[in-house]
Amino acid sequence: MNKSYGNKLLKTIALIMLVFLILFIVGAMIGAIIGGGNILTPLLPSTWSHILQFSR
């Protein structure tokens, strides 16, 4: 395994994680619209604190 292969692999993993994050946020926005809320509600810090409290 050479250094360029490792760099390419890390860039690919970072890109995949970024795409998943963007899709997660877009999905949360679509869910907020379907639920009758504001499209920007998933971006509020209070929403994320509620999600973290719910998951504990």
Q: What is the pLDDT of residues 2-50, one digit of tens each?
A: 778 888 999 999 999 999 999 998 998 899 899 888 888 888 899 889 8
Tokens 């499209």, located at residue: 39
Q: Rounded to whole angstroms, how far apart are CA atoms 30 and 7?
A: 35
**End-to-end Cα separation, the chain, in angstroms:** 41
pTM: 0.69
Can you give the length of the chain in residues? 56
Which among 22, 18, 21 has a CA at the least distance from the CA of 10?
Answer: 18
Q: Rounded to whole angstroms, how far apart are CA atoms 17 and 30?
A: 20
